[in-house]
Chain A
Amino acid sequence: MSLNFSSPLFLYGLLGIAVPVLIHLLTRRQQKHIRFSAVYLLIQSQKRSTRKSRPNRLLLLLARCLAITLFSLALADPFFSFRQSEAFLRPASIVFALDDSYSMGVQAGKRTLFDHALEFVFEGTKQAPEKSEYSLVLASSPARIEKDWTSDKTIFEKTLKAQSVSFRTTRIGDAMDQAINLLDSAKQKKKQIFLLTDLDKNGWKEEAFSKITAPYPVKVVNFSSLQSGDNKGMVKSIQISQEFLTRSRLLRVKAEVRNFSNTLSRKPLSLFLEGKIVKEELLDIPPGQTLAHEFSYPLRRNQPLNGKVQISDDALTTDNSRYFSFHPSQNIEVMVVDGDPETISHQSESFYLERALNPFSVSLSHIDPTISTLAELPLRNLSDFSVVILANVRELSPGYELELEKFVLNGGALLFGMGDQVNPKYFNEHLGNLLPIKLDSQYHVKEGALHLLLKNNTHPVMKVFSPKELAEMREINFYSMYTIQAREDRIFKVGTWFSNQNPAVIESNVGKGIIVLFLSSLDRDWNDFPIQPTFLPWIQRWTQYSARGLDSVFWQSLLVGEPFRKSTSGSDSNWIVHAPDGTLHILENEVFSNTFQPGIYHLFFLPSSETSSKTLEKIPDGAEPAGTFTVNIDVQESEPGKISQKKIESFLAGMKIEIQEPHSQTTAPQTSDGIPLATPFLLMVAGMFLLEGWMVRKE
C-alpha cells in the first residue's frame, strides 16, 4: 500500500510553501523588550485570558502551508495503490523494446521523442526493484537485441547512453518477437515488455505479428503526444536525368515534395550541389498533396556531382532532404581493329561497331571509337585506349600478343568478335595467356535454329534490358558460332548462352583487366544482330562494362539498410567505402551492408597489394575514386498515420496490453490501480481556505 502520483511534476508546487512562510516572516512584528513593574499581574491576566493571537498566527501559517501542500498534491493526482508495493518488491525481467526509427526523431521541446523514450528507460531501470534484469531490443528495421539480459544497472545505462535515433524504419512485429524470445529465457517470474514508440502506423505490419503468441504483459508507451510540432512535409523522391542540347548538357533534378499538413503550404525547395545551395524555388503545395518540381542545372564540366534537395525544417528534419549523385559519363576510348575490312563498308565489322558505339556525330554515348586495321595496329599506342575490340582478326603481328597481354594486365579491356577470318590455331597457341578457353570449331546452323538464351538478366550488362527488349533479342537469328573448350586452371564466366547450350559471351579477369569473347561475328556474316535495335545498347554496355564502366555504381540509389552490391565483377583488388559520417570500410565479398546513414558514399579502388588491415583511418595512398552511391531514407516512415489501440490489441491478441502516456513512470501504477485522492485533497484545500478566512476575520 503506498501513495502514488500520476503527474508527479506538480509536486514541484510544494515549493510554493515558501510563500506563506516568507509572508509570515516578513510580517512578523519585531519583538520589543520593556521593563515593567506589574509583571506578575500580566502573568495572572495571561493565564485568565482566552484570547491568544500568537498561536493564531502560527495556525494561520500552518493552514496556508497545508492548503498549498494539499493543492499541489491534488494536482499531482494522488492515489493509494494496494498493488504497487507488491509490484515494487518483486524483481522483474523487463524488456525495453525501443523504437529508434527516424520518426522518433520528431522534436518534442528541445529534445526528440527518442530522447524522452531513453529517459523513460533510464527512469524505469532506476525505479525497478533490486535483482531485476533488463534487456534492450531496438525496434527499427531490422529489429535487433541491443543488450541481452543484465542485472547490472550501470552496464545497462551505458548501453542506453550509446543509443541514438537511427534513419531506419520501424519493425514493431519483429521487435516483439525478439522481446518474447528474450522473456522466454528470463530468470524472474515477473515478466514485462515495455514498448516505447510513437505508434507510427508504418511499423505495424500484420504479417509480422502472425506468430506472436505469448501471454506476457505489454505496456505500450506512446510518445507521440509529446511532440511539439508536426512533420509538415518531406522530399518524397528524386530523379536525375541528363539532357543533351546541341552545345551543352543539362542536369535535370526532379524532386517530389509531399505536404502532410491540412493547409496549403508554401515550402522553399533548395537544390544543393557539392554542399552549396545553387537553386531555390518556392512551392505552393495543396494540403495532403505531392508536387513535383524539376531543377535544371547546366553541366559545365564533365565531373561527378553530388548533392541533395531540401525543404525547410519542420519537427522531423530527417525526411526534409534527399541525396543524389550524378556522374556524367566519361568518354571511353575504344580501338576497333577490323580484321576483315571490306570495300563495301557495311560488310565489315568496323562499320557496325563504329555506328553502334557512337551513333551520332556528337559523342553522346561517351564512347569514342577509333577504327584501325591490323597493319596500323603496331603504330597505335595502346595506353591511349581503354578498350580494344578485335573483330574477326586472323592473327596479330608477331609479338604483338605480348603488348596486348601487358595492356590487359594493366587494366585494359580486350573484346573479341569471331568471324571467318579467325584462326583458332593462332588463337589457341599465341593468345593462351589471355584467353581462358580454346576455340574449338565453327558451328553452322540453319536459319532460325540458333538464338541467344536470355533466361535471366542478372548480369550487370543485361539488367537494363526490359523484358520486351530481351524477347526481341531472343528472336535474333544466329547462323554460325564458335564452340570452345575450357583451359585447365582458368576461370571464366559465361555472360550469355546460346540456345544450343553453348556460351555466347564469356568473360575473364586477367590482371587488372578483362577479356570478353563474343563467339559469333560482330557483323552480319554470322547473325542479324548488328542490324537489331538492341545491338546498340548491348555493345555499348559491354564496352562500358569491360572498361569498368562505372555507371552501374553511379546510378545506385539505395534506401537506408539496403546493402550495396558492386556490380562490376572485380578481381581480388580492394574496394573502400567512404561513408557520409567520415568512416572508411573495406568492401567484403563485394557487398557493403552498413548503409544505415543517408548520404553520399564514395567508393575507392585500391590495388590488392596495398592494404592488409581491415580498419582504415584514412584513404590510403594510391586509392583511386571509383564512384559514388547514395543512400536515402525510406519515406514510408514519414507517413503521418498512427496505429489505433484496437489494431494493436488485435495484432497482439493474447497479450495483456496497456497503452500509457510517457508522463506516468515506467513501473508506477496507474490511477486505475488505486483509490484516487485528488477530490478529497481538493475538498481539504477548500476546508483550509475556509479555516484561514475564519482565522483572518477573527484576528
Chain B
Amino acid sequence: MREALTIIAAALCGLVFGLGLVLSHMVDPAVVASFLDIAGNWNPTLAFVMAGGIAVAAPAFWLARRSKRTLLGETIDLPDRMTITRALIIGAAAFGLGWGLAGICPGPGLTLLGTLDPGALIFVPAVIAGMLLARWRPLQMAVAKPAA
C-alpha cells in the first residue's frame, strides 16, 4: 500500500515538474540559448524559473533536514552538501558545455519526448549513452585522479 502511494506520488510529481518546464519555456532550446547569451539580445526570463523553484522548494528542504521520515513514512536521506571533488568540477563543466551547445538539459529533453520531438529523440539516447560512458571504470579513474 505504501509503495503504491509512493509510486502515485512520484507520477504526480513528474507530471507537475513537466508542466512547470512547459509553462516556463524551459523546454524551448531557443529560449534557453537566449538566456545564456548575455552578450547578445539577452533574455533573462529563465532566471525566474530558478527563483520560483527555490522559493517553493527551500522551505521543504528546511523541513526535511529536521525530519527523519516523510509523510508517507519513507526515510529522508539527503545527499552530502560539502565535499568538492574533481568529479563534481569536471562533471559540471562537461554538463555546462553540452547544455550551452544544444540548450537542452535532461528534464526538458525527457519532457519533449512526449511530443515525439525529433531533436529529443536524438538527444535523450545520447544522454543515456553519456551516462553509461561515465560509469566506464578507466574513465572514472581518470576523472577521480590526475595522471601521474
Question: Do A and B assemble together?
Answer: no
